[in-house]
Structure 1
Amino acid sequence: MELFIEARGDVGAVRKVNEDSLLAAPPVFLVADGMGGHAKGDAASQAVTQVFAEHIAPGVLSTPEQVLDAIHSANDAVRDLSTVGDSGTAVAGTTLTGVALVDGGEESPYSWMVFNVGDSRVYGWDGRVLRQQSVDHSAVQEMVDAGLISAEDAEQHPERNVITRALGAEDSVDVDVWLNQPTDYSTYLVCSDGLTKELERSEISAIFARHEASGDFTGITDELVQAALEAGGRDNVSVVVVRATTP
């Protein structure tokens, strides 16, 4: 297996502080988006990447248990950032989403472990179609699931920035996990909502399709971030693309 890895983060065209952090070091590829309006959003996202760097051995397959342990340890680290003042407790928080290369057991040499807390996203690209792998933990997603609004309406809803799960919000964290076989997707996109709130999935998919047609994914993260900036860049933008190929 050969890996193509690209990552880029940008503060965006409006924000003065970048509260996103990313990690793109095999076997883990993740994005953490510190919660705007909360205390120490940038420190919260940085705590996540630091914990993962300390818990996951570089350059070798991990295990699902090790990744989950890192997630729960990251939650503890973010909780430790919360402070108590005269006006109450200032809660630090961050989203976390990503993919990790884990031991596939007897059935496969490796598997892709997709994990998510919050509304940052993981997409899978199979060479033709871009599909969202993660499920947003957000107020509008709950409305969509209940049939109260459409997915299209959710993109413009006034509560679209309200998330229902985050690292640091509670003593324990509820994380969604999926295990994919190598044949499910060849390429993964991990991103903060600074990308997905500026670009439609069709626009992101078109960028992937152009690189697939050329056989060269070099520069794809620059192109994705630049497109988000040109569309408004109202939030921090973080993008990781990882692609596995067999020589």
Structure 2
Amino acid sequence: MLGISAGAASEAGGRHGANEDRVLAGRSVFAVADGMGGHAAGEVASALAVARLGLLDAEPVLTPDGFRAQLAEANADILASASREPDHRGMGATVAGIGIARVAGTEHWVVFNVGDCRVYRWAKGRLTQLTLDHNEAAEVAQAAVTFRDAAVGVGRRSLVTRSLGSEPASEPDIRVLPTVPGERFLICSDGLCLELPDSVIAETLNAEPDAAAAARALVRAAIAAGGRDDVSAVVVDHRIVAAGTTGEDTQPRHIGTEALR
């Protein structure tokens, strides 16, 4: 039986006063959404994205197509809100996450992203980035083009090439992976991976056995390292639960933003 323990943390960065990130740590779906648009209501867009994924989390059985459909609905929700409210025009969100779905009769992870929020997997002492950033820097790197000037790469990194709230709708990347006992996942906004190298992320995930403590430690480290953007982390642990018992965290932790205390 698949057992899940999850924890989340989120903190506003120094770029703007309000935190435009939203997080979801549910029963079967876990996600981070990063709002875009500043004064154009980025926090509204990220909240709409997480709300749609929250509806998915309430479904008794999930499929990869269900994730694709709800992300399309989130895109439509953001466009509709922008159409109704002049102050919302131009808003958008990037999102990434994981969920437990039935594939060929067995439980698998569905890994999804639109934009440059990330999903990492920590297992057997190795950190692996499972998502590809949807921004110009990543796409150039994927095409094996080397920047001669590092500053050019940094500048291009912020130019997102896919997001929710776009027309036509951006296509999400969706991967299906088998579940492996003992694995740990980190879902984060780009405000975390902009500040922390993979070595620090790996060290923290290895050092903190509790999911919630690991999420808080990562967010605090990113804020201490500069915290230029909003920083959010959801840490998800996969453990084995004996038959006839339930996991510690079978109820949704929260949908929204949890400031560090």
TM-score with structure 2 setting the length: 0.84
List runs of 5+ in structure 1 lacking aligned partners. none
Asked if the contact 1:38/1:91 (under 8 Å) is kept, the reply is no
2:177 is the counterpart of 1:180? yes
- SS for the counterpart of 1:219 is helix
Per-residue deviation, 1:185: 7.1
Q: Which 4+ stretches in 1 moved above 4 angstroms?
A: 83-86, 215-218
The aligned residue for residue 19 of structure 1 is: 20
Q: Which residue of structure 1 lines up, in the alignment, with residue 233 of structure 2?
A: 239
Does structure 1 conserve the Cα–Cα contact (< 8 Å) formed by 2:101 and 2:107? yes
The answer as to whether partners of 2:9 and 2:233 remain within 8 angstroms in 1 is yes
Cα deviation 1:32-61 (Å, max 9, x = unaligned): 101144621110000111122234426x44
| Other structure's SS at 1:170 match | coil
Cα distance change, pair 37–13 in 1 and its aligned pair in 2 (3 A) = closer
In 1, Cα distance between equivalents of 2:143 and 2:63: 35
Assess if the C-alpha contact under 8 Å between 1:144 and 1:154 holds in 2: no
Relative contact order higher in (CA < 8 Å, ≥ 6 apart): 2
Q: May I ask how many residue pairs the two structures share in their alignment?
A: 240
With 134-143 and 167-176 compared, the bigger mean Cα shift is at 167-176
The residue type equivalent to 2:94 in the other structure is T
Equivalent position SS for 2:156:
coil
Q: Indicate the SS of the match to 1:172.
A: coil
Distance 1:174 1:103, change over 3 A: same
Structure number with the higher helix fraction is 2
Of all paired residues, the percent bearing the same amino acid is 33
Q: 2: distance between equivalents of 1:240 and 1:155?
A: 30
Counterpart contact for 1:92–1:169, Cα < 8 Å: no
In structure 2, the CA distance between the partners of 1:161 and 1:25, relative to structure 1 (3 Å rule), is same
Distance 1:91 1:38 in 2: 9
Distance 1:185 1:61, change over 3 A: farther
Contact in 2 for aligned 1:154/1:160 (Cα 8 Å): no
Gaps of 5+ in 2: 242-261
Alpha-carbon distance, 1:155 to partner: 9.1
Amino acid paired to 2:175 = W
Q: For residues 114 and 128 of structure 2, what CA distance do their matches in structure 1 show?
A: 18
Question: What's the CA shift string for 1:171-211, capped at 9, x where partnerless?
Answer: 32301010010128711110000100000011101111223
1:9 paired residue number:
10
- Letter of the aligned partner of 1:236 in structure 2? D
Shift of 1:12: 2.3
Matched, 1:209 2:194: no
Report the AA paired with residue 92 of structure 2: G
| Separation of aligned partners in 1, 2:14 and 2:160 | 23
Distance in 2 between residues matched to 1:191 and 1:121, nearest whole Å: 5
Report the Cα distance in structure 2 between the residues aligned to 1:126 and 1:154, rounded to whole angstroms: 33
Shift of 1:169: 1.2
Shift of 1:13: 4.0
Offset of residue 84 of structure 1: 8.6
